[in-house]
Amino acid sequence: MADEQARLTHVDASGAARMVDVSAKDVTRRVATASGRVLVSPEVVALLRGEGVPKGDALAVARIAGIMGAKQTPALIPLCHPLAVSGVTVDLTVADDAVEIAASVKTTDRTGVEMEALTAVSVAALTVVDMVKAVDKAAVITDIRVETKTGGKSGDWAR
């Protein structure tokens, strides 16, 4: 356990959670992308492709919610650093059985934006569920994950 904790950057020698000191890290351009899905009924798919769900424009509301979520990440995830987020995109696509969500977050800072990308997707997915629940109480959020990250000491990574 001690060896494992030594590798965990958000845990100190005694095992207590801590916020990592990033003040000595270089400022670099960083980008992270994440994705997820909300499984929905055929009725919801038809409504989203047509006249829309009763609550309003689900995709537009979810897009804005995802952008807002990315900007609020340090308020939601306790050990995340507040960052100067310079760009967020959230794209929602209606597939045959789901709403597919993709987010990209950019910054020029000392730490990455993977959590911001994940939060954007998560909040967008929660919003889709909220917008469609009158029609589909069984909607399922699934497959939320980081797809890529660039920048920083650890370099680039892609799924």
Catalytic residues: 130
Structure tokens at 89: 């995109």
Residue 59 annotated as binding?
Answer: no
Residue 43 annotated as binding?
Answer: no
Structure tokens at 28: 């670099």
Structure tokens at 52: 């829309």
Q: Which contiguous run of DSSP H or E holds residue 6?
A: helix 2-7
Residue 10 annotated as binding?
Answer: no
Instruction: Compute the half-sphere exposure of residue 140: CA atoms within 13 Å on the CB side of its CA.
Output: 5
Residue 116 annotated as binding?
Answer: yes
Q: Which contiguous run of DSSP H or E holds residue 140?
A: strand 140-150
Structure tokens at 110: 């000392």
Contacts of 147 (CB under 8 A, 6+ apart): 33, 34, 35, 102, 158, 159
Residue 81 annotated as binding?
Answer: yes
Strand partners, 47: none
Task: Give the residue numbers of the binding site.
Answer: 79-81, 115-116
Task: Give the residue numbers of the binding site for substrate.
Answer: 79-81, 115-116
